Amino acid sequence: MNGKTHSGLKEFRTLLPYLKKYRIPYILGFFCLIVVDAAQAVIPQFVRAAVDRISSGDFEWVEVFRLCLAMLGVMALVASGRFLWRYFIHGSSRRIETELRETLFSHLLTQSYDFFQKHKIGDLMARSINDISQVRMALGWGVVTLVDGTIMTTLILVIIFIQDPRTAAFCLIPLPLITILMLFFGRTIGRRFYRANETYSAMSDTVQETFAGIRVVKSFVKEWWFTKKFEKNNDEYRSANMDLIKIFGIFFPLVSFLGGLTMVILLLVGGRRVVLGYLSAGELVALFSYFQMLIWPLMGAGFMVNMVQRGAASMGRINELLHSEASIKSPETPLQTLHKDGSGIEIKNLSFKYPLMAADASALAEKEPIPILNNITLSIPSGTVLGILGKTGSGKSTLVKTLVRMVDPPEGTVFVDGVDVRRRDLRDLRRIFGVSPQDSYLFSDSIINNIAYGNKDDDAEPDFTLLSHAAAVSALEGDLSVFTQGWETLIGERGLTLSGGQKQRVAIARAILSAPAILVLDDAFSAVDAETEKRILTAVLEERLAHAAYKKTTIIISHRVSTLNYADTVAVLENGKISEMGSPGELLASGQFFARVAELQRLGEAAEAHIHAGVNLG
């Protein structure tokens, strides 16, 4: 929570294009609403006429029956008008809600990687669902109560002052107090509702994180800890809403009391004027009807203040997202690819550091970001295989992220096809790459759809032959026969039902489906056994080298020396710098870090084989 509040009506300016688009339905809805209000204002006059005729004692039932038929006709008009204004106004508010949610979702997809580090998923979901619903309520019921209350109040005041100005003046004495209450409570409602929305976002964060990490929660038996955390968020949400309800608990009873006070004044003043002969019984009954009808606009004013303030607070939270700009975006005039024979990579004096993130700006001023990459210079000719080795935190994944601009390298440091990546269109740049990241993120969908996400053609359905080939190359076809529904097997959220090796192989199949010009395997075999890894790598590299007309580049990041033996060149990263570079054979002969790692892994494999042999003999 940032502590800011957004409750001003200026927050609704974002909605002006939507209101302009649906101005015709809104105008028709307002017209129907005015017709309904006018028709309702006529009904007490029929009652007045009927009461006066019956009380006179000189009447015919036919006349009363005609008045009843006329009332039924007006009531039918009211019912039809109510249906139409609901259709036009509420229908438009629902359409605006849908379009606003789509706009927000599309805008979020344009945001850079760092945006989602600053904003939690639960908070984004709360703003995309709960806050937009509150905006829709403001555009629907909020607008209706505003227009309906204004029209109805105006009509009733005109009629009662025409009918009996003296009685009307006495009965309207409490009304200014209602206006004062609205002004007093309105701003407080906005602030408290903003806090309620913020606590709702925090609670959504807890729920999303808990269920997304349910494996960790259960494996460490931490259900009790997350239960306590959720209880705390839930209590804060309840407390914030109770603070809001307390305001309404005072506001609405006061409005009801003032409305009832109006009826008491009418009974005293109007009853006396009937006795004195200044008012007929029918006129008094009509006045009672009008003042009862006036109570709804008075109560509706409270609802209107409530919904508009809620909508403004929610719109402010939505505007925070809509007004945020992506830190990484395409240049206004992007350059196109210069080389046609393949995709080579050139890195020149690349240094990179992640910006510090903290809630307190003063804390950031006292610290200096630690460099992740330091003066990296590297050439990867098209058609070659580069291996990267390094300790955890040495900058391997960050280096790959600069290639596709998941993080932004300094200008003039990273080139693909001879063009600075910062001068290329983002979509065109990323279409060149196929990346199998180390976290192997999978969607809650079928296996076939998870692989098909790798299809770069936005319009065409992926060819099942290509899907099958990608699965075969990634050694996944054997597992498909084991799954109960084969290709259509649902894998659960984040691949919950698959093993680590199966998730990695699905991710590899997804990466190679579109035959990318540059394939990046970022520690993609860490959960795969050595034999399967060898089979996949052999198939992948054979396929990529088979396309002689277009040279394809492959980057393999791994902690296993056996994996890196497939590379033409290996770069060793230590503390963000390239400490070694050469062919696997050259690095083994150098006796440095690469050779030491190779020796340790060889000894580990020998010890493991010895243990297995002992177990088999036993």
Q: Tell me: the pLDDT tens digits for 17-64? A: 999 999 999 999 999 999 999 999 888 888 888 887 777 667 677 877
**132 near 100, Cβ under 8 Å?**
yes
Q: Is residue 571 part of a domain?
A: no
Q: Domain span at residue 23?
A: 12-322
Residue among 569, 506, 512 at smallest CA distance from 542? 512
pLDDT of residue 440: 78
Query: Structure pTM?
Result: 0.77
Burial class (CB in 10 A: 0-12, 13-18, 19+), 150: middle
Q: Is residue 482 part of a domain?
A: yes
Flag whether pLDDT at 342 surpasses 70. no
| Cα–Cα distance for residue pair 237/218, rounded to 1 Å | 26
| Cα–Cα distance for residue pair 378/349, rounded to 1 Å | 8
pLDDT-wise least confident of 52-66, 133-147, 471-485: 52-66
- Comparing 364 with 160, the larger pLDDT belongs to 160
Amino acid (1-letter code) at residue 366:
E
CA 209 to chain centre: 15
Both tokens assigned to 225: 């800890």
- CATH for 30: 1.20.1560.10
**Averaged pLDDT for residues 590-594:** 89
Beta 577-582 vs 518-522: how paired, if at all?
unpaired
pLDDT of residue 96: 94
Domain stops at, among 280, 301, 322:
322
Q: Is residue 353 part of a domain?
A: no
**Averaged pLDDT for residues 444-469:** 77
Q: Is residue 122 part of a domain?
A: yes
pLDDT of residue 20: 93
**Averaged pLDDT for residues 295-316:** 78
pLDDT of residue 613: 60
Domain count, the chain: 2
- How many other C-beta atoms lie within 10 A of the C-beta of residue 247? 17
- CATH for 457: 3.40.50.300
pLDDT-wise least confident of 137-141, 330-334, 436-440, 545-549: 545-549
**440 near 504, Cβ under 8 Å?**
yes
Q: How open is the CA angle 489-491-492, to the nearest 5 degrees?
A: 135
pLDDT of residue 33: 93
172/297 same-domain check: yes
CA–CA distances in Å: residue 25 to residues 20, 74, 93, 103, 143 = 10, 24, 10, 21, 13
| Cα–Cα distance for residue pair 330/429, rounded to 1 Å | 10
Q: Is residue 244 part of a domain?
A: yes
449/316 same-domain check: no
Beta 577-582 vs 569-574: how paired, if at all?
antiparallel
Residue among 474, 607, 456, 496 at smallest CA distance from 543? 474
pLDDT of residue 459: 58
Q: Is residue 528 part of a domain?
A: no
Using 50, 70 and 90 to split pLDDT, how confident is the model at 358?
A: low
pLDDT-wise least confident of 123-132, 157-166, 360-369, 604-613: 360-369
- How many other C-beta atoms lie within 10 A of the C-beta of residue 140? 22
CA–CA distances in Å: residue 71 to residues 49, 349, 531 = 11, 86, 87
Flag whether pLDDT at 341 surpasses 90. no
What is the 3-state secondary structure of 97-138? HHHHHHHHHHHHHCCCCCHHHHCCHHHHHHHHHHHHHHHHHH
- Residues 103, 108, 110, 116, Cα dihedral to 10°: 180
Flag whether pLDDT at 495 surpasses 50. yes
Using 50, 70 and 90 to split pLDDT, how confident is the model at 530?
A: confident
**Averaged pLDDT for residues 214-225:** 75
Amino acid (1-letter code) at residue 298:
L
Residue 483, SS3 per DSSP: coil
Flag whether pLDDT at 368 surpasses 70. no
- Comparing 441 with 85, the larger pLDDT belongs to 85
pLDDT of residue 360: 46
Burial class (CB in 10 A: 0-12, 13-18, 19+), 607: exposed
140/266 same-domain check: yes
User: What is the rounded average pLDDT for all residues in the chain?
Assistant: 83
**Averaged pLDDT for residues 429-448:** 83
- How many other C-beta atoms lie within 10 A of the C-beta of residue 370? 9
| Cα–Cα distance for residue pair 289/274, rounded to 1 Å | 16
Helix, strand and coil content of the chain, in percent to the nearest 5, comes to: 65, 10, 25
Residue 323, SS3 per DSSP: coil
Residue 272, SS3 per DSSP: helix
Residue among 526, 552, 539 at smallest CA distance from 386? 552
| Cα–Cα distance for residue pair 370/315, rounded to 1 Å | 38
Helix (H), strand (E) counts: the chain: 24, 10
**396 near 390, Cβ under 8 Å?**
yes
Residue among 560, 591, 557, 585 at smallest CA distance from 571? 557
DSSP string, 440-480: ----SSBHHHHHHTT---SSSPPPHHHHHHHHHHTT-HHHH
Tens digits of residue pLDDT in 236-277: 888 888 888 887 777 778 777 877 788 888 888 888 888 887
pLDDT of residue 5: 46
**552 near 372, Cβ under 8 Å?**
no
pLDDT of residue 224: 84
Q: Is residue 536 part of a domain?
A: no
Flag whether pLDDT at 592 surpasses 60. yes
316/446 same-domain check: no
- Comparing 507 with 550, the larger pLDDT belongs to 507
Amino acid (1-letter code) at residue 217:
V
Domain stops at, among 515, 531, 561:
515
Using 50, 70 and 90 to split pLDDT, how confident is the model at 142?
A: confident
Tens digits of residue pLDDT in 560-583: 888 899 999 999 999 889 999 999
Residue among 168, 167, 144 at smallest CA distance from 37? 144
Residue among 94, 8, 18 at smallest CA distance from 312? 8
pLDDT of residue 412: 92
Burial class (CB in 10 A: 0-12, 13-18, 19+), 615: exposed
Domain stops at, among 301, 322, 343:
322
- How many other C-beta atoms lie within 10 A of the C-beta of residue 293? 18
Q: Is residue 547 part of a domain?
A: no
Residue among 465, 541, 484 at smallest CA distance from 508? 541
- How many other C-beta atoms lie within 10 A of the C-beta of residue 414? 25
Residue among 595, 600, 597 at smallest CA distance from 583? 595
Q: How open is the CA angle 517-522-525, to the nearest 5 degrees?
A: 110
